[in-house]
Structures are given as structure tokens and as C-alpha cells.
Amino acid sequence: MDSKFLPLHSILAYVALGVLLIAVINAIIGVTSKSLFKPKDRSISLVALIICHVQLVVGLLLYFDSPKFEQWSLLGMKIMKNSELRQLLVEHPVTNIIAIVLITIGWSKHKREESNNGKFKKIALFYLLGLVLLLAMIPYKQWLG
């Protein structure tokens, strides 16, 4: 996708994945060590949430600014027959939105949780699910090529 937002989206992807991984590892350590959920743990989880949301906004700007978006007008649902276009215009954005929703749910559920261990479990589970989905939908051919 040739767009002015692509470089920012690519850089933010590394940052978002890194911070999300740190949040997941921190939460798993918190669960296994039965630690108190401290302000540091809240901050790590919140930063991951915020960066993922910023990445989503940049991704949506990229999506609608991309020349590939025009393929919807030209091909309509025939996009589904083209694996590259389907991955970039359907699978990648939909799955990543689901991933961000899961991360947001994890954040919301952790706030309602009373126990420290429960807070860590909510963050670990939902952030890990989001991370797995994000990693599954990276267009590696474009990203690494």
C-alpha cells in the first residue's frame, strides 16, 4: 500500500507489538508470582492499550488513504478471489480490529476485578489473544520485503 501513512504504521507496529509483549510477559509474571497489581503494572498495560489504539487509528487512515482501497469500487466482492487484496483489504483490518477489541476488553475487565491475581489474569489472557491475532495478520511479505 503506497500511502504517506505506511511508514508511520510500520514503525508503530514494532512499538505496539513490543509494548504489548512486555505487558503480556509482565502480566504472566504477576500471575505466576502472585504479586500485587501495582501502579507500574497498570501503567505498562495502559501504555500498551493506548499504543494499540493509536496504531489502529493510523491503520484506518492508511486503509482509506491507500490506492488499494479503490479496488473496492472496481472489483466489489470479487476482491475475495484475489488473495493479496483480500488479505490487505479484508482479513488484516478485520482481524486487527478484533484484536484491539480483545485488548480493550481485557483492560476493562481488569478494572472491575478485585483480586490482584485476577487483574493480571485478565490482562494476560486478553492481551495475549490480541497479540496472537496481530501477529497472525501482519502482511509479512510487505513488512519484511
Could you give the count of Cα atoms lying within 13 Å of 25 in the half-sphere of its Cβ? 6
Burial (0-12, 13-18, 19+ Cβ within 10 Å), 20: buried
Please give the full DSSP string across 19-42, using - where no structure is assigned.
Answer: HHHHHHHHHHHHHHHT----HHHH
State pLDDT tens for residues 3-15.
788 889 989 999 9
State pLDDT tens for residues 87-103.
888 999 999 999 999 99
Residue whose cell numbers read 491507500 = 66
State pLDDT tens for residues 4-47.
888 899 899 999 999 999 999 999 999 999 999 999 999 999 99
The model's pTM is 0.91
